[in-house]
Every structure is written in C-alpha cells, then in structure tokens.
C-alpha cells in the first residue's frame, strides 16, 4: 500500500526540514498578500457616498427659502436648484452637454453661460446658443416634509424642457 505524501516531510530523526518550513511560510505570506491586495482593489471600486455630497441624496433646504425665479448653486451637489416662476423646482446639473465644462449661472444675463465655448442655457437648462447639442441634464427632485431633496446619483438626460420635469410643492 502506498502512503500519502504530505507537503511537509520529516527526516529519519522526526525533524522537519528548514526548506519545508520556509516553503509553507512563504506560501502563507503570499496568500495573505494576495488577499490584502484583493480587498484593497474591491474597496477602491466601491463608491464613497457621503450623505449631502455629490452622488447621494441631498437635502437642499425648506421650500420657502427659494423664491420663484431664483437659481441657487449647491456646490457639494454640483447642481443649481432652479425655482421656476410658476413655483416648480428643477435640479440642473452644472456640467455642459457639449464638452463637460462647469457652467455657471450669470445673474446679470439671467442664463447659464459655458466659459469654454459660450453655450448658453435658459433658467430651465434649455439651449439658447450652441454648440451644446441638448439641454443641461437634470437630477430627480422630491419634496419631503417641506424640504427640497435632490438625488445626485442619477442624472436625467433630456432632449428639451417639459413642464412635467418640474416638481411642485
């Protein structure tokens, strides 16, 4: 009958060889290093969502803080909260649909003006002046307990403005 061979062999005196101890030690350290690198890679790919920052649900504030016709920049969320004249809310992504530049609201002109290629947008985010191919993207808005909530984790691409896109308190 043949005896099963283990990875650690003992010599005639019952002692384990130094070479076998080193082999097992290095194999264990290699497995540990592989597990740590795999864990780091997995942690790196996970989104780091912090409540109140871009990519999460943001409580912008009470409905009454935003007068009709106003535009409020929310830097942590990378959007503008636009309150339409009829009282509806739009959360407009500040990224230009042409090349992705940050588009500021110019209060004196009452429009969004892209500093990169002069695309211009209305209070609703509609295109006034190309080269932007379509309106600014929106984020979903909800009204909860009298507060405006914006989900910056799901931008909405659109082809034009429709009154149905606005959320009313």
* Cβ neighbours for 84, distance < 8 A, ≥ 6 positions apart: 68, 69, 90, 123, 124, 166
Average the pLDDT over each of 101-105, 110-114, 150-154 and give the range with the smallest value. 150-154
pLDDT at 11 over 60: yes
Task: Give percent of the chain with pLDDT exceeding 70.
Answer: 88
Domain spans in the chain, listed from the N-terminal domain onward: 1-46, 57-165
**pLDDT for 62-86, tens place per residue?**
999 999 999 999 998 999 999 999 9
Residue 88: predicted pLDDT: 93
pTM more than 0.85: no
Question: Which position has the higher pLDDT, 164 or 90?
Answer: 90
The answer to whether residues 76 and 52 touch, using CB atoms and an 8 Å cutoff, is: yes
pLDDT at 114 over 90: yes
Distances (CA, A) of 113 to 87, 96, 121, 130, 140: 23, 9, 7, 11, 23
Q: Is 43 in a helix, a strand, or coil?
A: helix
Cα distance between residue 89 and residue 82, in whole Å: 6
The yes/no answer on whether domain 57-165 falls in CATH 3.50.50.60 is: no
């Amino acid at each position: 009958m043949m005896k099963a061979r283990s990875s650690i062999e003992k010599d005639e005196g019952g002692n384990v060889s130094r070479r076998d101890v080193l082999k097992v030690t290095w194999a264990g350290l290699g497995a540990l290093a592989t597990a740590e690198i795999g864990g780091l890679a997995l942690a790196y790919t996970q989104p780091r969502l912090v409540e109140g920052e871009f990519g999460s649900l943001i409580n912008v504030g009470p409905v009454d803080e935003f007068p009709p016709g106003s535009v409020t920049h929310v830097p942590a969320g990378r959007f503008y909260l636009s309150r339409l004249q009829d009282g509806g809310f739009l959360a407009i992504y500040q990224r230009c649909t042409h090349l992705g530049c940050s588009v500021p609201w110019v209060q004196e002109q009452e429009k969004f003006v892209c500093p990169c290629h002069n695309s211009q947008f209305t209070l609703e985010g509609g295109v006034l002046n190309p080269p932007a191919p379509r309106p600014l993207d929106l984020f979903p808005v909800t009204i909860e307990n009298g507060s405006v909530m914006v989900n910056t984790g799901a931008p909405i691409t659109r082809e034009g403005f429709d009154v149905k896109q606005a959320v009313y308190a």
